[in-house]
Amino acid sequence: MSFALATCTPSSGDSFVAGTLSAIECQAQTIGNAGYLALSAPGSGIMAFLTAMLTIFVALIGYRMFVGRGPDLGGGLLIFAKIGIVLALATSWPAFRTLVYDVAIDAPAQLGATVGGAASLDGGGTALTTRLSETDRALRTLNAWGIGAEPNRAGVSDDQGIEPDTTYETKALGAARMSFLTGAIGSIALTRLAAGVLLALAPLFIAFLLFDATRGLFGGWLRGLIGLTLGTTASSLVLAVETAIFQPRVVTLINLRASGYSIQGSATELLVLGIVFAFVALAVLLVSFYVAAGLRLPSWQWTQQYLPASLGGGAGQAGQRPLAQPAERQDPRSRAAVVVDAVEAMQRRETTAGAGAGGGNDRARAVAGAVSATNAPRNPQRASIDSGSDAPSRRRTTGRTSTSGSRRDTR
């Protein structure tokens, strides 16, 4: 299947930076557009993979319904919404272009132009490309002029007859242009081409959204795309600041050379500026990816109810609640010890009831003796309890008097 796409023209020699950046942008858009259309075309391997993923997903939902643990109304709507999102983004180019492609391709230039315009900078689009191209032409002109020789240093040598080395400044001037081009073209090429590759592979990563076990791959793809979008915007603003500092300085040096003055030492300054801004562009890219890494996809709660645990769900929780477990015994003692304590308490109550409760007292002693004899091996701490007829009586030595009776007697 063929697609009618615009042909990218190679960069021209007259405007190296502008032609190179234009070719990089065209190639990135072509890779993202043509790659997506090729992978989402009917009969492609990715479409077969997506069909298999959808079949497994629907089969698992049907199995849960077959065993009586199907989704409720809300869960069913979420399932259909998820399938619809995957199919729309993975198979429909108009939907994908509106929601993803245009945002990743056009948003950086628009954001850079808006922020840069507010700061009086050429922060994006053709304005930034033109400014970079003008700065490169100025550097090329300065290299043609050279550093120039100081009049008071011409033919001067040190005590040993060795003339000072003046070739370093010439080499530094060429290295300054090299560092400028590396930082400008490298940062833009990295972000735009990487974004084009991720956009081309979108149908594959969107299919991973179906299952929680593979949703991390989709999240990584989305975070990478967001990081590249932010990185393109940030690097464009850094390049705008660099050209705002670089270009006036280079133009001033060209005017000095045209007037016949030497610019010894200026080449080192330009080289330092180029190296510093190259590292700054790399740093803002790392910061952009760090910010994008903070994205966390929301968990689909219904998948924990209607899918097996091996695919991200909770098989033991789906459709049924776990059986209530009996409460743990708060008393760590054995059952026999608890019974013995209860019998002793009953015995004390009966002994305080008076002499008329002798029959109940004998019955309590008999029950306590039987329990102690039966459970003596399991509860040796209770083996010393004397339950025979010779057991000392635990009778009260004083009579029981209620509080109201005491108040009545004191009147």
pLDDT digits (tens, 9 = 90+) for 189-199: 999 999 999 99
- The one-letter code for the residue type at 198 is L
Strand blocks (E) in 238-312: none
Is the pLDDT confidence value at 13 over 70?
no
pLDDT digits (tens, 9 = 90+) for 145-185: 888 776 555 454 555 555 555 678 888 999 999 999 999 99
3-state DSSP assignment of residue 252: helix
Question: Do residues 237 and 112 touch, judged by C-beta distance below 8 A?
Answer: yes
Annotated domain spans of the chain: 16-150+166-311, 335-394
Q: Which of 7-11, 179-183, 328-332, 386-390 has the lowest mean pLDDT?
A: 386-390
At residue 404 the predicted structure's pLDDT band, cuts being 50, 70 and 90, is: low
User: What mean pLDDT do residues 252-268 have?
Assistant: 89
Structure tokens, 45: 């391997």
Phi-psi region of 46 (alpha: psi -120 to 50; beta: other; left: phi over 0): alpha
Structure tokens at 28: 């990135």
Show the tokens assigned to 313: 């769900």
Q: Is the pLDDT of residue 290 over 50?
A: yes
Per-residue model confidence as pLDDT tens digits over 119-133: 888 877 788 999 999
- Residue type at position 223: R
CA–CA dist 263, 169 (Å, integer): 9
Place of tokens 């002693």: 365
pLDDT at 312 over 70: no
Say yes or no to pLDDT of 107 above 80. yes
User: Going by C-beta distance under 8 Å and a sequence separation of 6 or more, which residues neighbour residue 94?
Assistant: none
**CA separation for the pair 85, 100 (Å, rounded):** 13
The answer, as to whether pTM is greater than 0.85, is no
Percent of the chain at pLDDT exceeding 90: 44
